Amino acid sequence: MSACGGGGASDEAASKSEATEASEHLVVKASNWKFDQAEYTIPKDTPVEIKLVNDEGAHGLQIKGAGVNLSNGKTSQIVTLAAGTYEMKCSIVCGTGHLNMTAKLIVQ
């Protein structure tokens, strides 16, 4: 079985990527064909380490507008995001349920 995938987007405006140290942590768990939550919430203007954990299958994580694309050995990234709602999706084609593998990231 393969894993989930997605297209690209312009991600530079909303985030300051790769801060040196995170003050918050967000773990996103992926399994076939879903993330462990439909919505995730993190604080705005705060360095947050986003970590992808594959519980079942091989998946990636793309957060449109946030500059986050985790896959192929890159399992975490530190970002500082502006307030808003961001679309999360699996970035590696993972089978029949791939297109439904989405969630929201709410930054407030």
Output the pLDDT for position 73: 87
Q: Give the pLDDT of residue 72.
A: 83
The count of residues in the chain is 108
What pLDDT score does 16 carry? 55
> Given pLDDT bands bounded at 50, 70 and 90, which one contains residue 2?
very low
High-pLDDT (> 90) share of the chain, %? 76
Number of domains comprising the chain: 1
What band does 27 get if pLDDT is binned at 50, 70 and 90? Answer: very high
CATH number for position 82: 2.60.40.420
Distance CA 77, CA 35 (A): 17
* Nearest residue to 62 via CA among 44, 35, 83, 36: 35
Give the range of the structural domain holding residue 34, as residue numbers without chain letter.
Answer: 4-107
The continuous run of DSSP H or E covering 41 comes out as strand 39-42
Quick check: 2 and 94 in contact, CB under 8 A? Answer: yes
